[in-house]
Amino acid sequence: KIFPFFPLGWAIRSRLDAMERIPRVRIPKLFLHGTLDEVVPYSLGRKLYEAAGEPKRFYDIAGARHNDTYLLGGPAYFEAIQRFIRDTLDLTPKN
C-alpha cells in the first residue's frame, strides 16, 4: 500500500470510465502529462485529450513520470498553468 493510513479501497473498487465521461465535461481542461508516466500511460492522456471537447489544452513534459512533472517541467510547467488560468478567466490586461 502506498498510503496505508488513508483508505482508498472505495475509490479503487469504483469504476471510472474517463473515456466515456470526458466528452461531457464542458469546462476548460488542461492536460499535463509526463511522456514516461508509469501510472497513466502517455498514450491514454493523449486519447483523453482527443476525446475531450473544447476548450482544452495539452502540455506534455518530456521525460517526466507520474510524480515529477513539475520538477522536470521547471518554470515552463508553471507558466503553462498560469497561462491556462489567465486565458480561461480572461485575465489579460486591458488598456
The domains of the chain are located at 30-95
pTM of the model: 0.76
* Count of CA atoms in the C-beta half-sphere (13 A) of 65: 4
Q: What is the pLDDT of residues 56-94, one digit of tens each?
A: 999 999 999 999 999 999 999 999 999 999 999 886 666
Q: What is the pLDDT of residues 6-54, one digit of tens each?
A: 565 555 555 568 899 999 999 999 999 999 999 999 999 999 999 999 9
Sequence-distant (≥ 6) Cβ neighbours of residue 63 within 8 angstroms: 34, 35, 36, 72
